[in-house]
Amino acid sequence: MTELLDGLWQGSLWLAVAALLLAALRPLLVRLGGVALAYRSWWLLPLLLAALLLPLPEVALLQQVPTLPLTVVPGAAGGLSGESLPWARLLLLAWALGVGISLLRDLRAQRRFERSLGLLHARADGSWQASADPGLPALVGLWRPRIVVGPQFDQQFTAQEQNLILQHERSHRRNGDHWANGALLLVRAVFWFHPLLPWAARRFLRDQELACDARTIAPQPALRGLYASTLLKAQLVHPVAPAVCHWRSQPVLKERIAMLKQSKRKALPWVSGQVLVVGLCAGMAAVAWASQGGAAAGTRIGVEPFEYAAEDAAKAGLDSPIQVDKMPPPSYPKSAFEQSQVGVVNLRIEVDAQGHPTDVQVLSATNPGVFDAVSIAAARSWTYRPARKNGKPVAGAVRIPITYAMDETEETK
């Protein structure tokens, strides 16, 4: 629960860093590689989020079968108890409610837009003609995107203008911009609380349209004037749908026309521009991934398989107690590390005559709910030698304490 909240916090922080960094670098990227390079740089955001989901390499914390328990600072184990859990539940409930409302709002807007198109009729040029115009032409749909034009498309635009518009929408489809808009919808739903995300989304959509304009006009620069006049002829006054690539993007109309008026400038070679953006994305993603790395460095875990073994065997009338041959240590929960939580978990492990653990229970824990799950998972992965009675292996049970400590706590002793 707390790990999910921590992940949302880290994701929000890195989204803000990435959005501000791209805003600062955009003039340089445009100058070096054009608007297409600036648009490709937005890959930084999903790569950062993906990097935060990648697991960190496991760090060997102690020997597999330690013989001395670790010391836990008195009072530190109870410093952060389950009292914070209700707040975590409330925060998660509020977040989930926000995600649901955001998704429902955007999906309803998309559905409303698609219904407002009315009946669609296939055209000879591969596009579809709607019976109403809620903001067309546009590339509509995610799985099977279709170019949809308005009912007055033939009357409003000349044949050459129609061709430019269709080329623009086909460029959106070839470039996968509809998928990018769908991903943006999901990110905005998950991070609905992020104050910078709406601003970043507007900048992303602006770069998307500018890059598509540049791709469309690049092979036919003589048509820049016609392309600009076509944009002016079709000004979008309808509300846009969240997952649609609109031809008539009114908020960036002036910038689109200004870009068309510029003469083609010398830019970096295509490969150099790609390397620049890939380097930026890979470097920032690596930094984001490595920022999680502190979770295993300052922790120590002690496992005492023999502390109660003889006592438990004697109580059960066994000749020899259960022994543990291999004990991969449990992982230190990331949220526990970041909140400086330590504690001791006492397990009761039942082992059958074949040496397989049949049941693992938490008898007691100084920090309930924090280390229980990782302790049980570790105990189920260990390799046991069954207890023996009258020379034969028999089922039995053993208590094993696991101590979770942090180096910084021991240094303060």
Render pLDDT for 53-92 as a digit per residue (tens, 0 to 9). Answer: 887 665 444 433 443 343 333 333 333 344 445 777 889 9
**Cα gap 238→327, rounded to integer Å:** 64
Domain ranges of the chain: 2-290, 295-411
How would DSSP label each residue in 311-358? Answer: HHHHHTT-SB--EEEE-PPPPPPHHHHHTT--EEEEEEEEE-TTS-EE
Letter for the amino acid at 353? A
Q: Render the burial of 292-323: b for 16+ CB within 10 Å, e for the rest.
A: beebbebbbbbbbbebbbeebbeebebebbbb
Question: How does DSSP classify residue 383?
Answer: E
pLDDT of residue 214: 92
Report the distance separating Cα 101 and Cα 315, nearest Å.
58
pLDDT recorded at residue 57: 60
d(CA 10, CA 288): 9
Residue 241 DSSP label: P
pLDDT, tens digit, for every residue of 247-268?
655 556 777 777 776 655 555 5
* pLDDT value of position 85: 53
8 A C-beta contact, residue 182 and residue 110? no
CA–CA distance from 27 to each of 30, 198, 280 (Å)? 5, 20, 15
Picking from 240, 125, 127, 136, the residue whose alpha carbon sits closest to that of residue 184 is 240
pLDDT in tens, 117-138: 999 999 999 999 999 988 889 9
118 Cβ neighbours under 8 A, 6+ residues apart:
130, 131, 132
Residue 77 is predicted with a pLDDT of 37
Dist. CA 310–CA 324, nearest whole Å: 13
Q: Which CATH superfamily does the domain covering 295-411 fall into?
A: TonB (3.30.2420.10)
Average pLDDT of every residue of the chain: 83
Distance, CA of 168 to CA of 234 (rounded, Å): 14
Separation of alpha carbons 357 and 382, rounded Å:
8
Report H helices in 158-308. 159-174, 177-190, 197-217, 224-233, 253-261, 270-290, 294-297
Per-residue pLDDT reduced to its tens digit, 327-379: 888 888 878 887 888 999 999 999 999 999 999 999 999 989 899 999 999 99
Do β-strands 128-130 and 146-149 pair in parallel, antiparallel, or remain unpaired?
Answer: parallel
SS3 for 112-129 is HHHHHCCCEEECCCCCEE
DSSP code per residue over 254-297: HHHHHHHHSPPPP---HHHHHHHHHHHHHHHHHHHHHTTTHHHH
The single-letter code of the amino acid at 140 is V
Q: What is the mean pLDDT of residues 185-211?
A: 95
The predicted pLDDT at position 73 comes to 37
Tell me how many degrees the CA angle 172-183-216 measures, rounded to the nearest 5.
15
Whether the predicted model's global pTM rises above the 0.85 cut? no
161 or 241, which is more confident: 161
326, 305 contact by CB (below 8 A): no
- Integer Cα distance of 368 and 81 in angstroms: 7
Greater model confidence, 255 or 12: 12
Please tell me which residue, 296 or 378, carries the higher pLDDT value. 378
| Residue % of the chain over a pLDDT of 70 | 82
Determine the residue type at 71.
T
